[in-house]
Amino acid sequence: MKKILLIMMMCFTTLFAIDAKMEIIKKSNNLPTILVTSASDSANMTLVNNVKNMIINDLKVSGHFQLSDFNERVFFKDKPNMVTLMKQNVDLYLSLYIEPSTFNGMSLQVKLFDVNKKEVVLNKSISTSNVNRYPFIAHRVSILINKHLNAPSIDWMDKFVIFSVYKNAKQAEIAIGDYTLAYQKTIVRGGLNIFPKWADDKQEEFYYTTYNNSIPELRKMNIYNRKRETILTSQGMIAASDVSKDGSKVLITASPEGQPDIYLYDVKRKMKKRLTTYKGIDVGAHFVENDSKIVFVSDRLKYPNIFSKKIGGRGVERLVYHGKNNSSATTFKNYVVYTSRDKENEFSSSAFNLYLISTQSDFIRRLTTNGSNQFPKFSNDGESILFIKRYKEKSNVGIIRVNYNKSFLFPLKNGKLQSIDW
């Protein structure tokens, strides 16, 4: 058993640095300054400005750039005034231009100037057949600029998030969108549909739980052809909580015999194996340490707490030694982020905050300070954490940039977020 040392952080902006294995060592403290502009002759200025603002947001979230608010706009075919830009300490100048279109699509022209070299270093055209998908066009531009600088990857910005939203009593829909929720598309309607979980990194299929029949069902659905199949059924509850790296194994919480336990489901063989046999509650398992162990929530202490168990092993290990309500967790390699209910403090009377720990050391780091922060999910590279934040009766998608001590919130305009994955 490991003794966890609790380090109380009084403010998110003063978080202690994560241990060396998760730290990014930057070559320079001077981030490049970029000016993002809409070309003066662009068609549909409202749309091009929406794209511009989305790119500015992306670059802020990346943590790899400083943004200039200097006003310098030219026709797309022209060069900006390099001397003036240098005087404003601008290193990169991005010009955006949308070509006229008679269809519902859009074509975005992009030019990136290196002000110090006084030359164009990136000239691209990116198109979509659906103008409503402009956030993803913006994200792809941000990723291109980031790659041009050889900065740490932000490819996760171009991935779908999938989430469930409560609409009314016993009514929840499942939608896909971009990480800011600027783009949203509902893909499952009718009844109570919750706990969506991507089936693999391709993001073509996902698991979800539906309560629309007499017995709860775990289903798998393809987002493109809408084909659905029932994986398992279970009285009480059933949900897919994590998928192995290759998509061949799924961790499932099910309660066929009363209290919920953790099961390992083999996708190819369509067989399940019971991993926990505790008489109480075991839920929400995630793979850890190269899929050799699981981390899960259990009431073995008469309240929810975080435990780990080697797959195929018999014993369990307690991972968290503070809090009386640690109700959800996510994993990346040997790292765990979990939710813990904190007592009254200067930030709020009661809050569910997120903490980061390692399964191989006594390291701990507090990530949030107020509101209700639930359902954390690591990005594929482990550098970002997606979560749901409920604050002042509103639902938000939160992004924590682990190595940059920054967090960002994106509000849901309608409904209440139930769960989320990316």
Q: How high is the pLDDT of residue 109?
A: 96
Contact 374, 394 (CB under 8 A): no
Superfamily of 12-23+157-421 according to CATH: TolB, C-terminal domain (2.120.10.30)
Q: Rounded to two decimals, what is the model's pTM?
A: 0.88
Ranges of beta strands (E only) in 80-170 are 92-98, 106-114, 119-128, 161-168
How would residue 316 be classed by pLDDT, with cut points 50, 70 and 90?
very high
Burial of 344 (0-12, 13-18, 19+ CB in 10 A): exposed
What percent of the chain lies above the pLDDT cut of 90? 80
Contact 135, 178 (CB under 8 A): yes
Between helices 134-148 and 45-62, what is the axis angle to 10°? 50
The Cα 326–Cα 355 span in angstroms is 10
Is a pLDDT exceeding 50 seen at residue 154? yes
Is a pLDDT exceeding 50 seen at residue 24? no
What confidence tens digit (pLDDT) does each residue in 283-292 have? 999 999 999 9
Question: Poorest-confidence range of 7-16, 225-234, 274-283, 374-383?
Answer: 7-16
Residue 84: CB atoms within 10 A of its CB come to 12
Partnered with residue 250 across adjacent β-strands are 243, 265
Contact 56, 36 (CB under 8 A): yes
Burial of 254 (0-12, 13-18, 19+ CB in 10 A): buried
- Tell me the domain boundaries of the chain: 12-23+157-421, 33-151
Ordered DSSP codes for 284-309: EEEEETTTTEEEEEE-TTSS-EEEEE
How would residue 348 be classed by pLDDT, with cut points 50, 70 and 90?
low
Sign of CA dihedral 317, 323, 327, 330: negative
Stretch 312-327: mean pLDDT, rounded? 91
Contact 78, 105 (CB under 8 A): no
Burial of 155 (0-12, 13-18, 19+ CB in 10 A): middle
**Tokens 């089936």 — which residue?**
199
CATH of range 33-151; options 3.40.50.300, 3.40.190.10, 3.40.50.10070, 3.40.50.1220: 3.40.50.10070
The Cα 314–Cα 415 span in angstroms is 42
Q: How high is the pLDDT of residue 29?
A: 57
What confidence tens digit (pLDDT) does each residue in 83-138 have? 999 999 999 999 999 987 767 889 999 999 999 999 999 999 999 999 999 999 99
What confidence tens digit (pLDDT) does each residue in 359-384 have? 988 889 999 988 899 999 999 999 99
How would residue 313 be classed by pLDDT, with cut points 50, 70 and 90?
very high
The Cα 216–Cα 239 span in angstroms is 9
Q: What are the Cα distances from residue 134, in Å, to 53, 90, 98, 274, 338?
A: 11, 26, 11, 45, 34
